Amino acid sequence: MGMRCRWLVFLAGLVLALAGVSLLAAPPAAASQLTVEVRPDKPEYLPGEPVTITVVVRLDGRPVPAHIDLAYIEIDDGFGFARRNYITRDFMQVSPGVFIAQGKAGRPGARRVYVRAYTTIKEDCCCRTVCGTGLAYYSVKQVCRPCCPCYYCCPCYQPCQPCLECRPPDFFLKYFVKRPGPGEVERVSLRIKEHVMEQLLQMAPSVTFREAPPHSVIWSDLPGMGWTNDALAELGLTLDPATGRITGEVSAADIRKSNYFFFIEALNPEGEVIAGIWIEIAFI
């Protein structure tokens, strides 16, 4: 009877040892994968045309709440993708794992969009950060306009007639405004800077101001970059014609991108345009 018990104990130990070996030999569970899909709304745009970029972040195939910590557009300057325009803060998360950024197409050429995102997952009693990257491509079509004396409007070297929509500014003013948080409102009050007013009053005894029609002016100071003028009303702002002061209350819901550009015209008493002023508002 004792011998039989010893054999049973031996067999039980052997079974347990074999089971342990099989467990050790079993392949580890597949690690979770984060994928980042980047989608421009079109493969090709015209200069100045609105561009919408959608990013979908998925964990093991399902959209998950995430953070975009780096995003930029690389511009082909003719020697490869070199010039970068960072758009990290332009993205807004519209639903878990789905982000949207909006802007405008600049000068003609190829573009490459790079986005890096991460999310935190819980495994047993620990948390782990999972990262992923995505790429997308689009292009801006070169359009030869019949009116093109301005290099930045159209790079096609052809006989030109008067150009209606390309007006390099006489003055460029940039203002930094605090970005309001969710549910907050930021009061904006921007006046024409003193050195600009002094020069305007040297051109005319008195000056009034008006806003150019939205999306009617295009300008760039760098190849591959371009802006068209936004509408003040998009941010809930108004222009005082007598002083040129821009005022209003901006909420977080109004802000769709980091930088806005406006084109303001200065008029003499006869109503003639004596200067154009590009105004950039950067939210920080």
pLDDT of 157: 39
Q: How confident is the model at residue 79 (pLDDT cuts 50, 70, 90)?
A: low
pLDDT band with cut points at 50, 70 and 90 for residue 78: low
Query: Tell me, what DSSP letter sits at residue 281?
Result: E
pLDDT of the residue at 256:
84
CATH for the 171-283 domain, from 3.40.50.300, 2.60.40.420, 2.60.40.10, 2.40.50.1020: 2.60.40.10
Chain centroid to CA 108: 18
Q: What gap in Å lies between CA 274 and CA 252, rounded to an integer? A: 35
Q: Please give the Cα distance from 90 to 247 (Å, whole number).
A: 23
pLDDT bin (cut points 50, 70, 90) of residue 81 is confident
3-class secondary-structure state, position 76? strand
Q: Each residue of 175-192: pLDDT tens digit?
A: 999 999 888 999 999 999
Residues 118/69, Cβ–Cβ less than 8 Å: yes
pLDDT tens digits for 136-184? 999 988 765 444 444 444 444 343 433 435 567 889 999 999 999 888 9
- pTM to 2 decimals? 0.48
Beta strands of 144-270 (E only): which ranges?
171-177, 185-190, 208-211, 218-219, 227-228, 237-239, 246-251, 259-267
**Phi and psi of 124, rounded to 5°?**
55, -115
Tell me whether the CATH fold assigned to 34-140 matches the one assigned to 171-283. yes
Domain ranges across the chain: 34-140, 171-283
Residue 173: per-residue pLDDT: 93
Supply the pLDDT for residue 25.
47
Would you say 56 and 117 are in contact if contact means Cβ atoms under 8 Å apart?
A: no
> Burial, 109: exposed, middle or buried (Cβ in 10 Å; 0-12, 13-18, 19+)?
buried
Q: With 60 as the cut, is the pLDDT of residue 23 above it? A: no
Q: 34-140: which CATH architecture?
A: Sandwich (2.60)
- Kindly give, in sequence order, each residue whose CB lies less than 8 Å from that of residue 15, ignoring residues fewer than 6 positions away: none
For residue 13, what are its two tokens? Answer: 């130990």
